[in-house]
């Protein structure tokens, strides 16, 4: 039964129509975006949600859009008492503090696609590594040298912890991707770039850290009509597009796209 159905007898029709259709679950935490018009009902909504999903122990209300370099959200605790949870995905476990680090479970399938692309013996760099949802399954499945970079100290702390939890070794670097030139002396076979919104320019920065015929998996946020122009731009800059696809909506008419790009020179 949907949240909407469960609240049918508890809310008047004008309020019921404002109840969010969905919510995200990370580990045992549910995150829901309750509109200000339902402020008086937010605890009732949180309790109803938890009664429907027995695995949910904490309910957080989203206060602001994810913002700032760390990409961590701001939340109000509506039920439960912790923003730290264990999330399982692609046979890995991730300890996450959703108030301090970015995490979304919506990309599990795409992250698994990347794991399948990686070959043994590669040198792999995951930029914007977060708590490790790309890095950890790659290292678990393939014999690679892998490095993760993030500028958020909390993300690096959780990434180190998650490496331990999953029994893998990785080189974790706390640093700014703008300074890549100074951070990495050797080039990589593959660079995974789950970049935050509006940071396509990092593609120019990573280019010099890529081996000849190396590959970049670029994540970018675009409206559908922007794609033909973006593809032309990539090709003009010498990138060969091996594959691209829409990985799902992030806002009205805006989607996250992935481009698998190879550089031949
Ligand atoms: C969109 S999140 C992606 C996190 C993770 N890869 C995932 O898919 O869940 C972007 C990450 O980039 C990090 N970040 C933002 N700007 C950065 C920069 N200039 N250098 C390094 N990391 C940065 C943030 O701290 C955040 O963890």
The domain segmentation of the chain, as residue ranges, is 3-82, 107-263
Residue 69 predicted with pLDDT over 70: no
Residue 149, CA distances (Å) to 65, 132, 171, 207 in order: 24, 10, 9, 16
Any atom of ligand 1 within 6 Å of the Cβ of 221:
no
Task: Check if the beta carbon of residue 72 is closer than 8 Å to that of residue 100.
Answer: yes
For the cut 80, the answer to whether the pLDDT of residue 262 exceeds it is yes
**HEC sequence for the chain:** CCHHHHCCCCCCHHHHCCCCCCCEEECCEEEECCCHHHHHHHHHHHHHHHHHCCCCCEEEEECCCCCCCCCCCCEEEEECCCCEEEEEECCEEEEEECCCCCCCHHHHHHHHHHHHHCCCCCEEEEECCCCCCCHHHHHHHCCCEEEEEECCHHHHHHHHHHHHHCCCCCEEEECCHHHHHHHCCCCEEEEEECCCCCCCCHHHHHHCCEEEEEEEEEEEEEEHHHHHHHHHHHHHCCEEEEEEEEEEEEECCEEEEEEEEEECC
- Confidence at residue 67, expressed as pLDDT on a 0 to 100 scale: 60
Is 258 a pocket residue for ligand 1 (Cβ < 6 Å)? no
Which residue of 31, 71, 98 sits with most ligand 1 atoms within 8 Å of its CB, as the best mutation to test the pocket? 71
| 2 pocket-lining for ligand 1 (C-beta < 6 Å) | no
Evaluate: CB of 97 within 6 angstroms of ligand 1: no
Q: Residue 181's pLDDT is what? A: 81
pLDDT at 71 over 80: no
User: Average pLDDT, stretch 252-264?
Assistant: 94
What is the pLDDT, as a whole number, of residue 113?
Answer: 98
pLDDT at residue 66 greater than cutoff 80 = no
Which pLDDT value is given to residue 220? 97
Q: 36 is written with which tokens? A: 């200000």
pLDDT band at 2 (very low <50, low <70, confident <90, very high): confident
| C-alpha to C-alpha distance for 13 and 166, rounded to whole angstroms | 48
pLDDT band at 251 (very low <50, low <70, confident <90, very high): confident
Ligand 1 centroid to Cα of residue 19, in Å, is: 31
pLDDT above 90 (res 264): no
Write down the pLDDT at residue 225.
96
> Does the beta carbon of 39 sit less than 6 angstroms from any atom of ligand 1?
no
Mean pLDDT along residues 140-145: 98
Question: Is the per-residue pLDDT at 70 higher than 70?
Answer: no
What top-level class would CATH report for the domain 3-82?
alpha beta
102 CB near ligand 1 (under 6 Å): yes
**CATH fold group of domain 107-263:** Rossmann fold (3.40.50)
CA 221 to CA 254: how far, in whole Å? 7
The closest-lying atom of ligand 1 relative to the alpha carbon of residue 104 is 9
Region label for 146, one of left (φ > 0), alpha (ψ between -120 and 50) or beta (otherwise): beta
How far CA 143 is from CA of 79, 88, 172, 176, in Å, comes to 42, 22, 17, 27
Mean pLDDT of the chain, nearest integer: 94
Closest atom of ligand 1 relative to the 178 alpha carbon = 19
* Model pLDDT, residue 174: 97
Closest by CA to 200, choosing from 175, 237, 171, is 237
């Amino acid at each position: 039964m949907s949240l909407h159905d469960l609240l049918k007898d508890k809310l008047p029709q004008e309020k019921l129509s404002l109840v969010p259709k969905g919510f995200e679950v990370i580990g045992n935490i549910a995150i829901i975006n309750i509109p200000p018009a339902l402020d008086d009902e937010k605890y009732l909504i949180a309790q109803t949600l938890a009664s429907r999903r027995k695995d949910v122990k904490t309910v957080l209300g989203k206060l602001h859009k994810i913002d700032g370099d760390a990409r961590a959200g701001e939340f109000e605790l509506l039920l439960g008492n912790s923003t730290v949870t264990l999330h399982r995905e692609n046979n890995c476990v991730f300890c996450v503090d959703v108030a301090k680090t970015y995490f979304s479970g919506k990309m599990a399938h795409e992250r698994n696609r990347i794991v399948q692309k990686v070959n043994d013996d590669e040198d792999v760099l995951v930029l914007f590594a977060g708590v490790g949802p790309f890095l950890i399954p790659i290292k678990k499945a393939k014999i690679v040298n892998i490095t993760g970079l993030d500028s958020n100290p909390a993300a690096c702390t959780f990434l180190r912890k998650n490496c331990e939890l999953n029994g893998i070794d990785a080189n974790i670097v706390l640093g700014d991707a703008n300074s890549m030139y100074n951070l990495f002396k050797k080039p990589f076979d593959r660079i995974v770039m789950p970049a935050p919104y509006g940071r396509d320019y990092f593609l120019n920065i990573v280019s010099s850290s890529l081996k000849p015929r190396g590959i970049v998996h670029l994540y970018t946020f675009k409206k559908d009509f922007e794609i033909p122009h973006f593809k032309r731009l990539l090709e003009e800059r010498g990138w060969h597009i091996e594959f691209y696809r829409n990985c799902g909506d992030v806002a009205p008419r805006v989607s996250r796209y992935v481009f698998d790009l190879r550089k031949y020179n």
